[in-house]
Amino acid sequence: MIDFTNGLISKLKPVSNSTFADLLAPMLVTDETIVESYQTVRDGVVFTNKRVIAINVQGITGKKKDFTSLPYSRIQAYSVETAGLGDTDSELELWFSGVGKVKFEFIAKANIIEICRLISERVL
């Protein structure tokens, strides 16, 4: 879950883009495609070619879901911390106009450099 107060989401691991494809298909606009997908135990983050979609699964059954659409056009800055020798996790901080900072933590297997390239292509 994204907590916009402290801007943190749990550690994300890479998953197949098909993991969220059926769930997000009705929300995607013309020519929007899923590029990268990540998941915690229940929640997820999907990077499309147009935006970041955070999926917060709620309740005991998980039937209730909250979707947060964060368009690349609203990103003012971002910061990346890659995994190191002692710290195997990577972090991505995005500053969105009107929202503030959103922080994502990825496990070591995540291709954080590819995510940076994706964001840079959309923002710059």
**Domains annotated on the chain, with CATH:** 8-123 (2.30.29.50)
Q: List, in sequence order, the alpha helices (H) in the chain.
A: 18-24, 112-123
**pLDDT tens digits, one per residue of 41-90:** 888 999 999 999 999 888 777 788 899 999 999 999 999 988 776 667 88
Rounded Cα–Cα distance for residues 89 and 106 (Å): 6
Question: In 3-state terms, what secondary structure has residue 2?
Answer: coil
Confidence (pTM): 0.87
